[in-house]
Structure 1
Amino acid sequence: MEVFKTEHRHFIIYKPYGYLSQFYSNSKQQKSKFFLGTLYDFPQSIMAIGRLDEKSEGLLLLTTDGMMSNYINSQKVEKEYYAQVDGDISLKAIETLKAGVEIGFEGKKYITKPCKVFKLGAVPDLPVRQQKIRDDRHGPTSWVSIVLNEGKFRQVRKMTSAVGYPTLRLVRVRVGAIEIGSMRSGDVIEVEEFLG
Protein backbone atom coordinates (compact mmCIF):
# COMPACT_ATOMS: atom_id res chain seq x y z
CA MET A 1 0.00 0.00 0.00
CA GLU A 2 1.27 3.47 -0.79
CA VAL A 3 1.86 6.17 1.82
CA PHE A 4 -0.75 8.93 1.80
CA LYS A 5 0.26 11.98 3.82
CA THR A 6 -1.59 15.19 3.02
CA GLU A 7 -3.69 17.90 4.63
CA HIS A 8 -6.52 15.37 4.64
CA ARG A 9 -7.69 13.67 7.83
CA HIS A 10 -7.70 9.91 8.35
CA PHE A 11 -9.26 7.67 11.01
CA ILE A 12 -9.15 4.01 11.97
CA ILE A 13 -12.29 2.84 13.77
CA TYR A 14 -13.80 -0.33 15.15
CA LYS A 15 -17.32 -0.21 13.74
CA PRO A 16 -19.69 -1.70 16.30
CA TYR A 17 -22.33 -4.28 15.45
CA GLY A 18 -25.63 -2.62 14.60
CA TYR A 19 -24.15 0.57 13.11
CA LEU A 20 -24.52 1.68 9.51
CA SER A 21 -21.35 2.68 7.60
CA GLN A 22 -22.65 6.23 7.15
CA PHE A 23 -22.55 9.32 9.31
CA TYR A 24 -26.14 10.55 9.56
CA SER A 25 -29.66 9.60 8.59
CA ASN A 26 -30.93 10.63 5.18
CA SER A 27 -34.42 9.20 5.53
CA LYS A 28 -37.22 8.99 8.07
CA GLN A 29 -37.09 5.18 8.04
CA GLN A 30 -33.53 5.30 9.45
CA LYS A 31 -34.32 7.36 12.54
CA SER A 32 -33.97 4.31 14.79
CA LYS A 33 -30.60 3.32 13.28
CA PHE A 34 -27.11 3.93 14.66
CA PHE A 35 -24.61 6.02 12.67
CA LEU A 36 -20.83 6.50 12.78
CA GLY A 37 -21.32 10.21 13.44
CA THR A 38 -22.43 9.39 16.99
CA LEU A 39 -19.00 7.87 17.78
CA TYR A 40 -16.88 10.98 17.15
CA ASP A 41 -16.98 14.54 15.80
CA PHE A 42 -15.77 13.68 12.30
CA PRO A 43 -15.02 16.39 9.69
CA GLN A 44 -17.84 17.16 7.26
CA SER A 45 -16.11 15.69 4.18
CA ILE A 46 -15.38 12.31 5.83
CA MET A 47 -16.13 9.08 3.94
CA ALA A 48 -15.87 5.39 4.76
CA ILE A 49 -13.37 3.45 2.65
CA GLY A 50 -15.50 0.47 1.76
CA ARG A 51 -18.40 -0.46 3.98
CA LEU A 52 -19.39 -2.99 6.57
CA ASP A 53 -23.06 -3.90 6.67
CA GLU A 54 -25.15 -3.24 9.76
CA LYS A 55 -24.60 -6.72 11.23
CA SER A 56 -20.86 -6.78 10.53
CA GLU A 57 -18.23 -5.17 12.72
CA GLY A 58 -14.56 -4.40 12.94
CA LEU A 59 -11.94 -2.39 11.11
CA LEU A 60 -13.18 0.52 9.02
CA LEU A 61 -10.95 3.22 7.55
CA LEU A 62 -12.28 6.75 7.16
CA THR A 63 -10.75 9.60 5.19
CA THR A 64 -11.40 12.98 3.61
CA ASP A 65 -9.16 11.97 0.66
CA GLY A 66 -11.15 10.55 -2.26
CA MET A 67 -8.00 9.42 -4.13
CA MET A 68 -6.89 7.30 -1.20
CA SER A 69 -10.38 5.86 -0.83
CA ASN A 70 -10.32 4.80 -4.49
CA TYR A 71 -6.89 3.20 -4.10
CA ILE A 72 -7.80 1.16 -1.01
CA ASN A 73 -11.11 0.10 -2.58
CA SER A 74 -9.19 -1.19 -5.58
CA GLN A 75 -8.28 -4.87 -5.76
CA LYS A 76 -4.68 -4.10 -4.80
CA VAL A 77 -5.42 -4.09 -1.07
CA GLU A 78 -6.27 -7.25 0.90
CA LYS A 79 -9.10 -7.29 3.43
CA GLU A 80 -9.10 -10.01 6.09
CA TYR A 81 -12.25 -11.13 7.89
CA TYR A 82 -12.86 -13.50 10.79
CA ALA A 83 -16.17 -15.29 10.33
CA GLN A 84 -17.88 -17.40 12.96
CA VAL A 85 -19.88 -19.96 11.02
CA ASP A 86 -22.68 -22.35 11.91
CA GLY A 87 -21.19 -25.84 12.14
CA ASP A 88 -17.71 -27.38 12.23
CA ILE A 89 -16.51 -26.28 8.81
CA SER A 90 -15.01 -29.05 6.70
CA LEU A 91 -11.72 -29.04 4.82
CA LYS A 92 -13.71 -29.57 1.60
CA ALA A 93 -15.74 -26.40 2.26
CA ILE A 94 -12.55 -24.43 2.94
CA GLU A 95 -10.97 -25.66 -0.30
CA THR A 96 -14.15 -24.72 -2.20
CA LEU A 97 -14.10 -21.22 -0.70
CA LYS A 98 -10.44 -20.82 -1.69
CA ALA A 99 -11.13 -21.77 -5.30
CA GLY A 100 -14.19 -19.51 -5.69
CA VAL A 101 -17.91 -20.07 -5.25
CA GLU A 102 -21.03 -18.91 -7.05
CA ILE A 103 -22.97 -16.15 -5.28
CA GLY A 104 -25.71 -13.76 -6.33
CA PHE A 105 -24.66 -10.17 -6.99
CA GLU A 106 -26.91 -7.43 -8.44
CA GLY A 107 -29.39 -10.03 -9.63
CA LYS A 108 -26.79 -12.08 -11.50
CA LYS A 109 -24.62 -15.11 -10.77
CA TYR A 110 -21.05 -14.26 -9.83
CA ILE A 111 -18.03 -16.53 -9.22
CA THR A 112 -15.82 -15.18 -6.44
CA LYS A 113 -12.12 -14.83 -7.14
CA PRO A 114 -9.66 -17.29 -5.57
CA CYS A 115 -8.81 -16.21 -2.03
CA LYS A 116 -7.01 -17.30 1.14
CA VAL A 117 -9.09 -19.22 3.68
CA PHE A 118 -8.13 -21.20 6.78
CA LYS A 119 -9.80 -22.44 9.93
CA LEU A 120 -8.70 -20.66 13.11
CA GLY A 121 -7.30 -22.96 15.79
CA ALA A 122 -8.93 -21.01 18.61
CA VAL A 123 -11.71 -18.48 19.16
CA PRO A 124 -10.20 -15.05 18.35
CA ASP A 125 -9.87 -12.44 21.10
CA LEU A 126 -12.59 -10.05 20.01
CA PRO A 127 -14.85 -7.69 21.97
CA VAL A 128 -18.06 -9.24 23.28
CA ARG A 129 -20.84 -8.39 20.85
CA GLN A 130 -23.83 -6.42 22.18
CA GLN A 131 -26.31 -8.85 20.64
CA LYS A 132 -25.90 -12.41 21.89
CA ILE A 133 -24.84 -15.08 19.41
CA ARG A 134 -26.15 -18.57 19.97
CA ASP A 135 -23.68 -20.75 21.82
CA ASP A 136 -22.38 -24.26 21.21
CA ARG A 137 -25.26 -25.82 23.17
CA HIS A 138 -27.25 -25.35 19.95
CA GLY A 139 -24.62 -27.10 17.84
CA PRO A 140 -20.95 -26.46 17.03
CA THR A 141 -19.59 -23.30 15.46
CA SER A 142 -16.17 -22.61 13.99
CA TRP A 143 -14.08 -19.58 13.04
CA VAL A 144 -12.38 -19.02 9.69
CA SER A 145 -10.08 -16.35 8.29
CA ILE A 146 -11.03 -15.19 4.79
CA VAL A 147 -8.72 -12.81 2.90
CA LEU A 148 -10.23 -11.10 -0.15
CA ASN A 149 -8.95 -8.78 -2.85
CA GLU A 150 -12.51 -7.87 -3.82
CA GLY A 151 -15.55 -6.72 -1.90
CA LYS A 152 -18.96 -7.47 -3.32
CA PHE A 153 -22.03 -6.66 -1.21
CA ARG A 154 -22.27 -9.12 1.72
CA GLN A 155 -19.68 -11.28 -0.04
CA VAL A 156 -18.30 -13.24 2.92
CA ARG A 157 -21.77 -14.08 4.21
CA LYS A 158 -22.86 -15.24 0.76
CA MET A 159 -19.68 -17.30 0.33
CA THR A 160 -19.99 -19.22 3.60
CA SER A 161 -23.69 -19.86 2.97
CA ALA A 162 -22.85 -21.18 -0.51
CA VAL A 163 -20.76 -23.97 1.07
CA GLY A 164 -23.36 -24.76 3.74
CA TYR A 165 -21.95 -22.85 6.73
CA PRO A 166 -23.91 -19.61 7.30
CA THR A 167 -22.04 -16.77 9.01
CA LEU A 168 -23.15 -15.99 12.57
CA ARG A 169 -20.65 -13.20 13.27
CA LEU A 170 -18.39 -11.30 10.88
CA VAL A 171 -15.46 -9.08 11.91
CA ARG A 172 -13.03 -7.34 9.55
CA VAL A 173 -9.63 -7.52 11.23
CA ARG A 174 -7.23 -6.17 8.59
CA VAL A 175 -7.08 -3.82 5.59
CA GLY A 176 -3.69 -4.04 3.86
CA ALA A 177 -1.12 -3.78 6.67
CA ILE A 178 -3.51 -2.04 9.07
CA GLU A 179 -4.74 -4.44 11.74
CA ILE A 180 -7.47 -4.09 14.33
CA GLY A 181 -5.09 -5.23 17.07
CA SER A 182 -6.43 -4.53 20.56
CA MET A 183 -9.07 -2.01 19.49
CA ARG A 184 -12.45 -2.31 21.19
CA SER A 185 -15.88 -1.80 19.69
CA GLY A 186 -16.52 1.92 19.07
CA ASP A 187 -12.85 2.98 19.29
CA VAL A 188 -11.81 5.85 17.00
CA ILE A 189 -8.12 6.64 16.32
CA GLU A 190 -7.06 9.61 14.18
CA VAL A 191 -3.82 8.95 12.27
CA GLU A 192 -1.57 11.19 10.18
CA GLU A 193 -1.28 8.64 7.38
CA PHE A 194 -2.21 5.16 6.25
CA LEU A 195 0.83 2.96 5.75
CA GLY A 196 0.91 -0.40 4.04
Structure 2
Amino acid sequence: MARVILFNKPYGVLSQFTDGEARATLSDHITLPGVYPAGRLDRDSEGLLLLTDDGRLQARIADPRFKTAKTYLVQVEGVASDEALDQLRRGVRLKDGMTLPAEAERIPAPDLWPRDPPVRFRKSVPDEWISLTIREGRNRQVRRMTAAVGLPTLRLVRWRIGDWTLDRLAPGEWREVRVG
Protein backbone atom coordinates (compact mmCIF):
# COMPACT_ATOMS: atom_id res chain seq x y z
CA MET A 1 0.00 0.00 0.00
CA ALA A 2 1.51 3.32 -1.09
CA ARG A 3 1.69 6.37 1.13
CA VAL A 4 0.57 9.62 -0.45
CA ILE A 5 1.06 12.94 1.32
CA LEU A 6 -1.16 15.86 0.31
CA PHE A 7 0.77 19.02 1.17
CA ASN A 8 -0.32 22.65 0.86
CA LYS A 9 2.96 24.17 -0.25
CA PRO A 10 3.23 27.77 0.91
CA TYR A 11 4.52 30.58 -1.29
CA GLY A 12 8.32 30.76 -1.16
CA VAL A 13 8.94 27.08 -0.35
CA LEU A 14 11.00 24.96 -2.75
CA SER A 15 9.56 21.61 -3.90
CA GLN A 16 12.62 19.73 -2.60
CA PHE A 17 13.99 18.69 0.77
CA THR A 18 17.42 20.36 0.62
CA ASP A 19 18.84 23.63 -0.67
CA GLY A 20 22.37 24.98 -0.56
CA GLU A 21 21.15 28.56 -0.27
CA ALA A 22 19.24 28.28 3.03
CA ARG A 23 15.85 28.86 1.38
CA ALA A 24 12.66 27.27 2.75
CA THR A 25 12.20 23.66 1.63
CA LEU A 26 9.85 20.73 2.19
CA SER A 27 11.97 19.64 5.18
CA ASP A 28 10.75 22.74 7.04
CA HIS A 29 7.24 21.21 6.97
CA ILE A 30 7.48 17.45 6.40
CA THR A 31 9.70 15.18 8.48
CA LEU A 32 8.47 11.81 7.23
CA PRO A 33 11.27 9.62 5.92
CA GLY A 34 11.09 7.96 2.51
CA VAL A 35 8.58 10.20 0.72
CA TYR A 36 9.45 12.22 -2.38
CA PRO A 37 7.61 14.85 -4.42
CA ALA A 38 5.60 13.60 -7.39
CA GLY A 39 6.19 16.58 -9.64
CA ARG A 40 6.97 20.07 -8.53
CA LEU A 41 5.52 23.48 -7.91
CA ASP A 42 7.58 26.62 -8.45
CA ARG A 43 8.80 28.54 -5.43
CA ASP A 44 6.43 31.42 -6.22
CA SER A 45 3.41 29.12 -6.64
CA GLU A 46 1.25 27.73 -3.85
CA GLY A 47 -1.00 24.78 -3.28
CA LEU A 48 -1.21 21.05 -3.66
CA LEU A 49 1.99 19.08 -3.89
CA LEU A 50 1.85 15.30 -3.69
CA LEU A 51 4.61 13.23 -2.11
CA THR A 52 4.78 9.45 -2.10
CA ASP A 53 6.98 6.52 -1.16
CA ASP A 54 6.00 4.61 -4.33
CA GLY A 55 8.32 5.25 -7.29
CA ARG A 56 5.86 3.97 -9.89
CA LEU A 57 3.04 6.10 -8.51
CA GLN A 58 5.39 9.08 -8.38
CA ALA A 59 6.22 8.63 -12.08
CA ARG A 60 2.57 8.13 -13.01
CA ILE A 61 1.55 11.39 -11.28
CA ALA A 62 4.46 13.46 -12.58
CA ASP A 63 5.01 12.09 -16.09
CA PRO A 64 3.18 14.11 -18.78
CA ARG A 65 2.60 10.91 -20.79
CA PHE A 66 -0.11 9.91 -18.30
CA LYS A 67 -1.89 13.29 -18.69
CA THR A 68 -2.98 13.56 -15.05
CA ALA A 69 -5.33 16.55 -14.79
CA LYS A 70 -4.05 19.40 -12.63
CA THR A 71 -6.38 22.29 -11.75
CA TYR A 72 -5.05 25.71 -10.85
CA LEU A 73 -6.80 28.76 -9.43
CA VAL A 74 -5.10 31.68 -11.14
CA GLN A 75 -5.39 35.36 -10.32
CA VAL A 76 -4.55 37.22 -13.52
CA GLU A 77 -3.88 40.84 -14.27
CA GLY A 78 -6.59 42.16 -16.59
CA VAL A 79 -9.99 40.86 -17.56
CA ALA A 80 -10.23 37.39 -19.09
CA SER A 81 -12.05 37.90 -22.37
CA ASP A 82 -14.00 35.09 -24.05
CA GLU A 83 -11.34 35.15 -26.77
CA ALA A 84 -8.48 34.66 -24.25
CA LEU A 85 -10.32 31.78 -22.57
CA ASP A 86 -11.02 30.20 -25.99
CA GLN A 87 -7.31 30.41 -26.83
CA LEU A 88 -6.45 28.58 -23.59
CA ARG A 89 -9.11 25.96 -24.40
CA ARG A 90 -7.66 25.36 -27.88
CA GLY A 91 -4.02 25.33 -26.79
CA VAL A 92 -1.48 28.13 -26.78
CA ARG A 93 1.73 28.44 -28.77
CA LEU A 94 4.72 28.78 -26.43
CA LYS A 95 8.42 28.90 -27.31
CA ASP A 96 8.61 25.13 -26.75
CA GLY A 97 5.56 24.38 -28.92
CA MET A 98 1.78 24.17 -28.65
CA THR A 99 0.21 23.26 -25.34
CA LEU A 100 -2.54 20.69 -25.14
CA PRO A 101 -6.04 22.15 -24.91
CA ALA A 102 -6.92 23.23 -21.37
CA GLU A 103 -10.15 23.68 -19.47
CA ALA A 104 -10.48 27.39 -18.69
CA GLU A 105 -13.23 29.43 -17.07
CA ARG A 106 -13.76 32.61 -15.10
CA ILE A 107 -14.48 32.00 -11.43
CA PRO A 108 -15.42 34.20 -8.48
CA ALA A 109 -12.50 35.12 -6.24
CA PRO A 110 -11.90 31.97 -4.15
CA ASP A 111 -11.88 32.07 -0.36
CA LEU A 112 -8.16 31.45 0.10
CA TRP A 113 -5.68 32.21 2.86
CA PRO A 114 -3.81 35.52 2.61
CA ARG A 115 -0.56 35.23 0.73
CA ASP A 116 2.66 36.37 2.39
CA PRO A 117 3.85 38.58 0.81
CA PRO A 118 0.53 39.86 -0.54
CA VAL A 119 -0.08 40.12 -4.28
CA ARG A 120 0.58 43.64 -5.48
CA PHE A 121 -2.60 45.65 -5.88
CA ARG A 122 -2.95 48.36 -8.50
CA LYS A 123 -6.10 50.45 -8.41
CA SER A 124 -5.83 51.28 -12.12
CA VAL A 125 -5.43 47.66 -13.30
CA PRO A 126 -8.26 45.15 -12.86
CA ASP A 127 -7.62 41.53 -11.96
CA GLU A 128 -9.71 38.41 -12.22
CA TRP A 129 -9.61 34.74 -11.22
CA ILE A 130 -9.74 31.84 -13.64
CA SER A 131 -9.71 28.09 -13.17
CA LEU A 132 -7.28 26.36 -15.53
CA THR A 133 -6.95 22.58 -15.87
CA ILE A 134 -4.00 21.21 -17.82
CA ARG A 135 -2.83 17.69 -18.58
CA GLU A 136 0.88 18.26 -19.07
CA GLY A 137 3.49 19.89 -16.89
CA ARG A 138 6.03 22.06 -18.67
CA ASN A 139 8.22 24.44 -16.72
CA ARG A 140 6.12 27.41 -15.51
CA GLN A 141 3.46 26.37 -18.02
CA VAL A 142 0.40 28.03 -16.48
CA ARG A 143 2.22 31.35 -16.10
CA ARG A 144 3.47 31.18 -19.69
CA MET A 145 0.02 30.25 -21.02
CA THR A 146 -1.79 33.11 -19.29
CA ALA A 147 0.93 35.57 -20.38
CA ALA A 148 0.61 34.34 -23.97
CA VAL A 149 -3.06 35.38 -24.00
CA GLY A 150 -2.34 38.77 -22.41
CA LEU A 151 -3.19 37.85 -18.80
CA PRO A 152 -0.06 37.85 -16.62
CA THR A 153 -0.38 35.64 -13.55
CA LEU A 154 -0.42 37.43 -10.19
CA ARG A 155 -1.12 34.43 -7.95
CA LEU A 156 -1.09 30.73 -8.75
CA VAL A 157 -2.61 28.06 -6.49
CA ARG A 158 -2.74 24.41 -7.56
CA TRP A 159 -6.02 23.09 -6.19
CA ARG A 160 -6.32 19.58 -7.64
CA ILE A 161 -4.15 16.76 -9.02
CA GLY A 162 -6.24 13.91 -10.40
CA ASP A 163 -8.75 13.03 -7.66
CA TRP A 164 -6.79 14.69 -4.83
CA THR A 165 -7.62 18.23 -3.72
CA LEU A 166 -6.31 20.84 -1.35
CA ASP A 167 -9.65 20.98 0.45
CA ARG A 168 -9.29 21.91 4.17
CA LEU A 169 -5.48 22.08 4.19
CA ALA A 170 -3.96 25.36 5.37
CA PRO A 171 -0.58 26.48 4.00
CA GLY A 172 2.18 24.30 5.45
CA GLU A 173 -0.26 21.55 6.51
CA TRP A 174 -0.30 18.03 5.15
CA ARG A 175 -2.28 14.84 5.52
CA GLU A 176 -1.56 11.26 4.59
CA VAL A 177 -3.82 9.05 2.49
CA ARG A 178 -3.33 5.40 1.58
CA VAL A 179 -3.54 4.25 -2.03
CA GLY A 180 -3.88 0.70 -3.34
**TM-score class normalised by the smaller sequence:** over 0.9
Structure 2 unmatched runs, 5+: none
Structure 1 unmatched runs, 5+: 1-5
Match of 1:111 in 2: 98
**TM, length-normalised to structure 1:** 0.86
Give 4+ residue runs of structure 1 displaced > 6 Å after superposition: none
Q: Is 1:15 equivalent to 2:13 in the alignment?
A: no
Give matches, 1:1-196, under 5 Å: 6=1, 8-25=2-19, 27=20, 30-31=21-22, 33-43=23-33, 45-74=34-63, 75-104=66-95, 109-120=96-107, 122-135=108-121, 137-193=123-179
State the Cα distance separating 1:90 from its structure 2 match. 0.8
Most deviating of 123-132 and 149-158:
123-132
**TM, length-normalised to structure 2:** 0.94
Give distance in 1, aligned partners of 2:35 and 2:124.
Answer: 42
Going from structure 1 to structure 2, the CA distance change for 1:147 and 1:131 (only over 3 Å counts) comes to same
State the Cα distance separating 1:127 from its structure 2 match. 1.1
Secondary structure in structure 1 of the residue aligned to 2:40: coil
Give distance in 2, aligned partners of 1:88 and 1:146.
Answer: 15
Going from structure 1 to structure 2, the CA distance change for 1:182 and 1:153 (only over 3 Å counts) comes to same
Give distance in 2, aligned partners of 1:130 and 1:166.
Answer: 19
Give distance in 2, aligned partners of 1:181 and 1:113.
Answer: 27
Secondary structure in structure 2 of the residue aligned to 1:172: strand
Give distance in 2, aligned partners of 1:89 and 1:9.
Answer: 39
Post-superposition CA distance 1:132-152 (Å, at most 9, x none): 112252411001111011000
% of aligned pairs identical? 39
